[in-house]
């Protein structure tokens, strides 16, 4: 947890983290397609399709959905033995 605290401190100071990861275009396409349900749910709650009019919690929830969908895709891609076991 000490490492996490150091990262948080760096971010609070405005330091940008070095990019060491890259995305998969197919995973992005999957996540974008899967986000529609959450987007429409929040738009209905707020009466607006404009993200900047949503609360921080609603935006966080929306982006969390996108990220989880992307990670689900990547997990499936990395799952070469047909197992659902988390490694």
Determine the Cα–Cα distance for residues 50 and 39; give it in Å rounded to an integer.
10
pLDDT at 87 over 60: no
Determine the Cα–Cα distance for residues 17 and 74; give it in Å rounded to an integer.
22
1 band by pLDDT with thresholds 50, 70 and 90: confident
Structure confidence by residue, pLDDT tens digits, 44-81 = 999 999 999 999 999 999 999 999 999 999 999 888 76
CA triple 38-42-43, angle to 5 deg: 115
Mean pLDDT (the chain) is 91
Closest CA to 26 of 78, 73, 66: 73
Structure confidence by residue, pLDDT tens digits, 5-50 = 999 999 999 999 998 988 999 999 999 999 999 999 999 999 999 9
């Amino acid at each position: 947890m000490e490492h996490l605290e150091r990262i948080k401190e760096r971010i609070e100071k405005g330091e940008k983290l070095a990019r060491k990861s890259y995305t998969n275009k197919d995973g992005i396409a999957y996540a974008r397609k899967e986000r529609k349900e959450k987007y429409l749910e929040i738009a209905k709650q707020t009466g607006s399709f404009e993200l900047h009019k949503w609360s921080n919690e609603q935006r966080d929830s929306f982006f969390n959905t996108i990220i989880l969908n992307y990670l689900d895709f990547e997990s499936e891609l990395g799952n070469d033995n047909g197992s659902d076991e988390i490694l």
